[in-house]
């Protein structure tokens, strides 16, 4: 199969306008005849559902949480980027495009990234109109701050809860459409199967988590906005319920997966404190604006951190990357931290953390100013660790955070299954091999508010004439049976190990062998071990309870998918014999430990095709063509 | 440490529930409260028993999905903290801990500690938004908003919708939740045009959902994880009274 | 609740001011107090106000009963273990109980003074006014009666302490500056009213002893 990204013709800056000019439209009177299913109510899902409902389509919106407002976009802290150039510091759409494509280590499409930067300004307008309380200056104008990986201030923020505020804006827009009868929300519903008829996505099978009922839902298009799968590592900054099941089950129905092993580790998470831990809490990257990162120069330094004198501290980011210092991009900051921790210089009870120190900022700006900027983060830190970070350095460490990879989509965000769209973190599109801070909220919003509302109607225009599918179609019956069989199987195995056991074991395995750095050897071992773990899962799994409200049963399905996805991650990492962005292969590095990219052989997007249970995936390649930027070594020195 | 737990178990919405006792050893003080429940559930799986169903998701205090009564208080003994941010260092070896769902007629129990908070969605649907559609907005800096108003609007908008205010209120009133959204939008110029209709619709919906009346005991502010101020309730009343008086 | 409550608060001020005459030397007090009582019962404006007062008391009570029932319905099933009280002050949670004590007290109060004055033939004083003063002072010669009054007034005090500021909230006083004023005003008001009223029975009782 030949992958066609369907990138519009014309100059880079003209492509999106060209697309919009020529996109097919649906007559307003016909829109209400078309049903669209949107899975996920995060920024991408809620904004897409609301925007399409505003146009007049009939939307069914699904989420597994108890209300749409809880989707994990809510937890994004730092901010959202936009090329408004309000600070007059040289920002422009082109510069933002360039920063993003360079930040992604030249592993994303020029056209997609340019569109992201181009639509960024409109998002701020949109959010302000919805009532998002972005930070303001005393004159009433919007304020900005700088973020990792760039040299301008283009990040808009609402204290440390930008994701929450943006999400509430989208959620409120969704609730407005629900009150108008344009959207029907299905909360506490989990999509368990995609229904494909004649090669097109035509509906889903969902399970009502309140009753255990299996439901069929038909539609003219299906949108997956289900977020990332970083929870595959078990310990991550993601919510407990974040999962890959919707995209993975779509993948098994024919949608290709791309950049599967490109997973960003966030440098400023709280370190693991024990075996019981279920979650690593993120501290916003914005803290790096004022906090300085260091470790003791001497390994195994057991002194109280405050007592270590200035000259015995190693400010390793400032040392290694003088131009960007503490604001180096996430992949670089995370890897540098891992390097120091592995060298024995880690701090904290498990020696698995580095210091984020505010003493200098407090001395220079005063405690009140720091409080105004970060009080909620400092409070959160104290709640979790019991430590006052105004007095002592914070302890931070890298944690699995964001998946650049996801379903392969073309320029229209449509997967390889016609009628199946993937938005936000669920697709692979815009971030390449590494995402810049404050670009994820942006991408989710831009996909949902501005792109899908053009590209989905373009697809639907031809669907009007298509035969109306009902849920009585044999494909629905088959899909429902498959779901029922799997659920019954989980309940029947009756072994002795819980889904959490498998999740934790898989997570540890992936963290060690396919985490911040990987090698051929580690990946090959991981593949064997994952296969064994999967066999054990289907032999020794134990689920108690019934098929109604049963969180263990929900977990089992998600872990089953992770056990397959994890293996593909390893294959993806194994076949990419270079280091780029978040993907660091130990065999491919420079003498001073920096990533060594190979543009000759690997300037492509991997697109993996599912071939069947226990069969190897087939790798397709979408070559990346760069016409506007020169591929340079990504240096932040 | 060792704990005795007394946990509310209830099969379904219409079933009768009761407090069941459990013993749990090997609890570490670094654990979060929900990780302690994970540990208990792991033991229940090993014993072949149905696990305790409880709501949780982000486990960092922002999604609002977790929320249980711990020792008779919403989200447990600490003020302004979600259940997921409560850690076992707040308890002592040998403690007995009572764990119940948030209770209110408008929050039916689904199973064990899981409750249904759809009523909150209905209140937002009644008017908790600014009626703007994608594509309409003017340039962001054309709407000037003072620094202080923005900060005040943020303080209200920070509500996570967990329902602790309702659970801790002796009247099961949703006044704090509803007023937080009303204040957030009433403080912003974009939200002013619809303010009168919004407050009337949302307050009416709050009553329709079966929440009680606010009698200003201020307990909600103490338990609210986001420290949402009770003064928002006064502001909601102000907006409501104003709307009633000046309604055409 | 806030409207009727605040009117009752206002009435208490008038009531207190009038009753301060009890603190005058006995003979002067008798004359003034009886003259004042006569004035209140005759004046058309005062009469209107008194009807508003009756309506307020009844309205305040009935509405309280309705709200209490609705709130009980909103509560659903009870908590098996309830320590919610730690998050608020006791009197704010027990307005109903305090209100009931006040209501029972009012029945006694009305029966002993208001009813007697209005519907029975009292002896007249030197000026020809009904001699309520004697009725009042006689009542306060009994220690148990004084104690009942003191307890009821304490209940009223706590009821006012929460009620005054709660009413302001319900009417929509949200600005932090004015909220502070209202809180202070509420305390001053409550202390003056309650200490004033509490002093009267004690004063009369002690006067009677000496």
Q: What is the pLDDT of residues B55-64, one digit of tens each?
A: 999 999 999 9
Q: With a cut of 50, which residues of chain C have pLDDT below it?
A: none
Q: Which residues of C102-114 are buried (b: 16+ CB within 10 A; e: fewer)?
A: beebeeebeeeee
Confidence (pTM): 0.95
Residues lower than pLDDT 50 in chain A:
none
Q: Please compute the mean of the pLDDT values over residues B36-64 and round it to a whole number.
A: 97
CA distance C111 to chain B (A): 31
Rounded to whole angstroms, what are the CA distances from C3 to A544, B176, C154? 57, 22, 22
| pLDDT of C120 | 86
- Which candidate from C84, C174, C179 shows the least CB-CB separation from B168? C84
Instruction: Pull the structure tokens for residue B152.
Output: 């005040």
Q: Which residue of A has its CA nearest to B161?
A: A69
Domain boundaries, chain B: 3-110, 118-246
pLDDT in tens, A40-60: 999 999 999 999 999 999 999
> Would you give the distance in Å from CA A57 to the centre of its chain?
27
Instruction: Please answer whether residues A146 and A152 qualify as being in contact, where contact means their C-beta atoms are separated by less than 8 angstroms.
Output: yes
Instruction: Yes or no: say if A201 and B148 are a contact pair by the CB < 8 Å rule.
Output: no
Is residue A202 a contact partner of residue A82, using CB atoms and an 8 Å limit?
no
pLDDT at A470 (0 to 100): 95
pLDDT for residue A501: 97
**What tokens were used for B44?**
């229940």
For residue A481 the two structure tokens come to 């049976």
- Tokens representing A505 are 């074991």
Tell me if there are at least 3 CB pairs under 8 Å linking chains B and C.
yes
Rounded-to-10 torsion of CA B190, B192, B194, B196 = 170
- Model confidence at B150, in pLDDT bands (50, 70, 90)? very high
Cross-chain residue pair B118–A66, CB shorter than 8 Å: yes
Give residue C147's pLDDT.
96
Q: Which two tokens stand for residue B181?
A: 């959204």
CA dihedral A30, A33, A37, A43 (to 10 degrees): 40
Q: Tell me, what's the pLDDT at A385?
A: 87
Contact A292, A356 (CB under 8 A): yes
Q: Which chains touch B (3 or more CB pairs under 8 A)?
A: A, C
Among A70, A80, A183, A540, most B C-beta atoms within 10 A, so best to mutate, is A70
Whether the predicted interface score ipTM is above 0.95: yes
Partners of B25 in the β-ladder = none
Tokens of A213: 């009922």
Chains touching A by CB (3 or more pairs below 8 Å): B
Question: How many C-beta atoms lie closer than 10 Å to residue A11's C-beta?
Answer: 11
Question: Among candidates A290, A580, A600, A553, which has minimal Cα distance to A434?
Answer: A580
Residue of B13, B140, B154 to mutate when probing chain A, most A C-beta within 10 A: B140
Instruction: Find, among A162, A166, A218, A170, the residue nearest to A54 by Cα.
Output: A170
Q: Which residues of B touch A66 (CB under 8 A)?
A: 55, 65, 116-118
Exposure of C76 by Cβ count < 10 A (0-12 exposed, 13-18 middle, 19+ buried)? middle
H/E element, A370: helix A367-385
Which residues of C fall below an 8 Å CB-CB distance to B? 67, 70-71, 73-84, 86-89, 92-93, 95, 162, 165-166, 168-174, 176, 179
Write phi, then psi, for A473 (nearest 5 degrees): -55, 145
| Percent of chain B with pLDDT strictly greater than 70 | 100
Cβ of B144: how many Cβ atoms within 10 Å?
Answer: 13
Spatial strand order of the sheet with A394-403 comes to A263-269, A394-403, A354-357, A292-296, A313-314
How distant is the Cα of A208 from the closest Cα of chain B, in angstroms?
13
Give the pLDDT confidence score for residue A376 in this predicted structure.
Answer: 80
Inter-chain touch B50–A74, beta carbons under 8 Å: no
Closest CA to C132 of C150, C145, C118, C148: C118
CB B147 to CB A240 under 8 A? no
- Measured between CA atoms, how close is B56 to chain A, in angstroms? 8
Which of C75, C168, C169 is nearest residue B172 as measured by Cβ atoms? C75
In three-state secondary structure terms, A107 is: coil
pLDDT, average across residues B26-35 = 94
- Tell me the CA distances in angstroms from C72 to B215, C82, C122, C145, C166, one per residue in order: 13, 15, 46, 35, 20
CB contact under 8 A, C170 and B172: no
Query: Angle at CA B157, nearest 5°, toward B153 and B163?
Result: 145
Q: CB neighbours (10 Å) of residue C124?
A: 11
Contact B73 C86 (CB under 8 A): yes
Give the start-end residues of each E strand in A70-134: 80-81
| CB proximity under 8 Å: B 118-147 to A | 118, 120-121, 124-126, 128-141, 143-147
On chain C, the residues whose CB falls within 8 A of the CB of B213 are 67, 70-71
Measured CA to CA, the distance from residue A232 to residue A225 in angstroms comes to 17
Residues B235, C84: C-beta atoms closer than 8 Å: no
B44 Cβ under 8 Å from any chain A Cβ: yes
Cα B187 to the chain's mean position, in Å? 22
Kind of pairing between the strands at A58-62 and A183-186 = parallel
Does the beta-carbon distance from A129 to B51 stay under 8 Å? no
Chain B: nearest CA to C1, how far in angstroms? Answer: 10
Tell me if residue B114 falls in helix, strand or coil: strand
Q: How far apart are alpha carbons B192 and A234 in whole angstroms?
A: 45
User: C25-64 pLDDT, tens per residue?
Assistant: 988 999 999 998 888 877 888 889 889 999 999 999 999 9
Which residues in chain B are closer than 8 Å to C87, comparing Cβ atoms?
73, 79, 168, 218-219, 222-223
| Contact residues on chain C for B239, CB-CB shorter than 8 A | 172
Backbone angles phi, psi at A579, to 5 degrees: -115, 130
Compare CB distances from B50 to A161, A178, A545 and report the shortest one's residue: A545
pLDDT of residue B11: 97
The DSSP bridge partners found for residue B99 are B7, B70
Catalytic position from the list A249, A330, A335, A597 = A330
Q: B118-246 has which CATH code? A: 1.10.1060.10
Neighbouring C-beta atoms of residue A140, cutoff 10 Å: 15
- C-interface mutation test, from B13, B179, B213, B232, most C Cβ less than 10 A away: B213
Q: pLDDT value at position A239?
A: 97
pLDDT for res A160: 84
Nearest to A69 among B59, B78, B161 (CB): B161
CB interface of B with A, residues 72-111, below 8 Å: 78, 81, 85, 87, 89, 110-111
CB atoms within 10 A of CB B201: 18
Q: Is A95 a catalytic residue?
A: no
Contacts of B240 in chain C (CB under 8 A): 172
C25-32: long-range contacts, CB 8 A cutoff, minimum separation 24: C26/C207, C29/C133, C30/C125, C30/C131, C30/C133, C30/C134, C31/C125, C31/C126, C31/C127
Q: Which of A47, A67, A230, A350 to mutate to test the interface with B (most CBs of B within 10 A)?
A: A67
Q: CB–CB of B116 and A66 under 8 A?
A: yes
Amino acid B159: pLDDT:
98
Residue B39, helix vs strand vs coil:
helix
List the single residue in A51, A142, A239 with the smallest CB-CB distance to B141: A142
The per-residue DSSP string of C108-137 comes to HHIIIIIIHHHHS-PPB-TTSSB-HHHHHH
Mutate to test the interface with B, among A63, A65, A69 (most CBs of B within 10 A): A69
- Give the CATH fold of the B3-110 domain: Ubiquitin-like (UB roll) (3.10.20)
Interface of B with A in 157-186 (CB under 8 A): 157-158, 160-161, 184-185
What DSSP character marks residue A446? I
Tokens 């304020």 belong to which residue?
A143
Could you say which of B79, B210, B242 has the minimum Cβ distance to residue C74? B210
Residue labelled with tokens 């009247």? B171
Give the distance from residue B246's alpha carbon to the nearest chain A alpha carbon, in angstroms.
24
In A550-614, beta strands by DSSP E:
604-609
pLDDT at B212 (0 to 100)? 97
Q: Is B55 on the interface with A (CB under 8 A)?
A: yes
Nearest to A476 by CA among A214, A266, A106: A214
Q: What local confidence, expressed as pLDDT, does residue A284 receive?
A: 80
User: Sign of torsion, CA A603 A607 A608 A609?
Assistant: negative
| Residue B165 contacts C where some CB pair is shorter than 8 Å | no
User: Do B3-110 and B118-246 have matching folds?
Assistant: no
Check whether B248 has a pLDDT greater than 80. Answer: no
The shortest C-alpha distance from A581 to chain B (Å) reads 27
Encoded tokens for B33: 């409260």
């Amino acid at each position: 199969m030949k992958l066609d990204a369907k990138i519009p013709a014309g100059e880079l800056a003209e492509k999106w306008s060209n697309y919009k000019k020529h996109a097919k439209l649906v007559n307003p009177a016909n829109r209400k005849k078309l049903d669209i299913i949107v899975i996920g109510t995060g920024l991408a899902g809620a904004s897409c559902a609301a925007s399409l409902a505003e146009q007049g389509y009939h939307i069914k919106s699904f989420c597994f949480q108890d209300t749409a407002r809880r989707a994990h976009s809510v937890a994004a802290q730092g901010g959202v980027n936009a090329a408004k150039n309000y600070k007059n510091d040289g920002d422009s759409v082109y510069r933002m495009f360039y920063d993003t494509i360079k930040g992604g280590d030249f592993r994303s499409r020029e056209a997609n990234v340019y569109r992201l930067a181009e639509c960024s300004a409109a998002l701020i307008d949109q959010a302000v109109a919805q009532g998002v309380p972005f930070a303001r200056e005393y004159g009433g104008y919007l304020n900005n701050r700088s973020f990792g990986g760039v040299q301008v201030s283009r990040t808009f923020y609402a204290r440390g809860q930008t994701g929450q505020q943006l999400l509430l804006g989208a959620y409120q827009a969704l609730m407005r459409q629900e009150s108008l009868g344009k959207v029907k929300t299905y909360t506490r519903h989990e999509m368990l199967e995609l229904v494909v008829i004649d090669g097109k996505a035509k509906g889903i099978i969902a399970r009502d988590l309140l009753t255990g009922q299996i439901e069929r839902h038909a539609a003219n298009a299906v949108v997956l906005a289900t977020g990332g799968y970083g929870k595959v590592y078990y310990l991550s900054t993601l919510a407990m319920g974040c999962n890959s099941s919707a995209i993975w089950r779509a993948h098994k129905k024919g949608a290709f997966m791309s950049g599967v092993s490109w997973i960003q580790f966030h440098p400023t998470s709280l370190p693991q404190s024990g075996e019981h831990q279920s979650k690593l809490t993120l501290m916003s990257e914005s803290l790096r604006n004022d906090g300085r990162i260091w470790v003791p120069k001497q390994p195994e330094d057991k002194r109280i951190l405050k007592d270590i004198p200035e000259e015995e501290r190693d400010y390793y980011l400032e040392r290694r990357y003088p131009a960007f210092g503490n604001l180096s991009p996430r992949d670089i900051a995370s890897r540098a931290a891992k390097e120091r921790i592995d060298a024995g210089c880690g701090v904290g009870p498990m020696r698995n953390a580095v210091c984020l120190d505010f003493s200098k900022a407090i001395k220079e700006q005063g405690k009140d100013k720091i409080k105004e900027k970060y009080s909620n983060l400092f409070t959160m830190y104290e709640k979790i660790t019991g430590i006052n970070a105004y007095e002592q350095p914070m302890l931070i460490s890298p944690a699995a955070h964001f998946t650049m990879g996801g379903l392969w989509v073309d320029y229209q965000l449509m997967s390889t299954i016609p009628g199946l769209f993937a938005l936000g973190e669920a697709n692979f599109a815009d971030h390449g091999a590494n995402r810049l801070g404050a670009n994820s909220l942006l991408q989710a919003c831009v996909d949902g508010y501005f792109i899908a509302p053009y590209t989905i109607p373009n697809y639907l225009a031809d669907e009007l004439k298509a035969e109306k599918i009902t849920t009585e179609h044999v494909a629905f019956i088959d899909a429902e049976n498959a779901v029922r069989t799997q659920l019954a199987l989980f309940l029947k195995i009756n072994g002795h190990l819980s889904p959490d056991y498998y999740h934790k074991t898989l997570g540890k395995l992936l963290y060690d062998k396919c985490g911040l750095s990987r090698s051929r050897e580690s990946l090959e071992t991981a593949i064997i071990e994952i296969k064994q773990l999967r066999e054990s899962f289907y032999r020794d799994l134990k689920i108690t309870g019934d098929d109604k409200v049963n969180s263990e049963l929900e977990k089992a399905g998600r872990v089953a998918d992770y056990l397959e996805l994890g293996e593909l991650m390893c294959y993806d990492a194994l076949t990419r014999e270079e280091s780029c962005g978040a993907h660091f292969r130990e065999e491919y590095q420079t003498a001073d430990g920096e990533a060594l990219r190979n543009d000759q052989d690997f300037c492509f997007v991997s697109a993996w095709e599912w071939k069947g249970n226990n069969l190897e995936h087939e790798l397709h390649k979408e070559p990346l063509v760069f016409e506007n930027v020169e591929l340079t070594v990504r240096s932040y020195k | 440490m060792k704990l005795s737990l007394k946990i509310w178990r209830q099969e379904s919405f219409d079933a009768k529930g009761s407090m069941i006792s459990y013993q749990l050893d090997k609890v570490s003080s670094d654990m979060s409260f929900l990780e302690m429940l994970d540990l208990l559930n792991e033991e229940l799986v090993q014993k072949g028993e149905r696990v305790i169903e409880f709501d949780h998701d982000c486990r960092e205090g922002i999604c609002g999905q977790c929320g249980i009564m711990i020792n008779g208080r919403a989200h447990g003994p600490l003020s302004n903290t979600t259940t997921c941010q409560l850690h076992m260092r707040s308890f002592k070896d040998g403690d007995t801990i009572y764990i119940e769902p948030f209770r209110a007629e408008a929050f039916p129990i689904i199973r064990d500690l899981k409750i249904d908070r759809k009523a909150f969605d209905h209140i937002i649907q009644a008017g908790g938004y600014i009626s703007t559609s994608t594509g309409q907005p003017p340039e962001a800096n054309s709407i000037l908003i003072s620094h202080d108003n923005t900060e005040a609007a943020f303080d209200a908008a920070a509500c996570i919708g967990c329902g602790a205010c309702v659970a801790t209120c002796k009247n099961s009133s949703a006044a704090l939740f509803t007023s937080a959204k009303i204040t957030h939008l009433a403080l912003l110029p974009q939200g002013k045009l619809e303010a009168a209709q919004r407050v009337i619709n949302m307050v009416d919906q709050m009553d329709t959902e079966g929440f009680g009346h606010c009698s200003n005991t201020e307990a909600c502010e103490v338990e609210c994880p986001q420290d949402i101020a009770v003064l928002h309730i006064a502001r909601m009343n102000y907006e409501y009274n104003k709307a009633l008086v000046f309604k055409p | 609740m806030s409207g009727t409550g605040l009117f009752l608060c206002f009435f208490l001020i008038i009531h207190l001011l009038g009753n301060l005459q009890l603190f005058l030397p006995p003979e002067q007090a008798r004359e003034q107090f009886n003259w004042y009582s006569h004035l209140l019962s005759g004046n058309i404006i005062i009469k209107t106000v008194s009807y508003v007062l009756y309506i307020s008391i009844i309205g305040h009570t009935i509405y309280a009963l309705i709200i209490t029932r609705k709130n009980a319905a909103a509560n659903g099933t009870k908590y098996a273990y309830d320590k919610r009280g730690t998050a608020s002050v006791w009197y704010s949670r027990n307005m109903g109980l305090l209100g009931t004590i006040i209501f029972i007290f009012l029945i006694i109060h009305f029966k002993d003074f208001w009813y007697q004055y209005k519907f029975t033939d009292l002896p007249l004083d030197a000026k020809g006014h009904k001699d309520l003063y004697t009725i009042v002072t006689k009542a306060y010669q009994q220690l148990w009666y004084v104690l009942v009054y003191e307890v009821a007034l304490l209940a009223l005090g706590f009821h006012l302490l929460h009620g005054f500021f709660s009413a302001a909230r319900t009417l929509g006083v949200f600005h932090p500056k004015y909220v502070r004023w209202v809180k202070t005003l509420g305390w001053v008001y409550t202390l003056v009213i309650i200490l004033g009223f509490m002093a009267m029975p004690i004063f009369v009782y002690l006067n009677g002893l000496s």
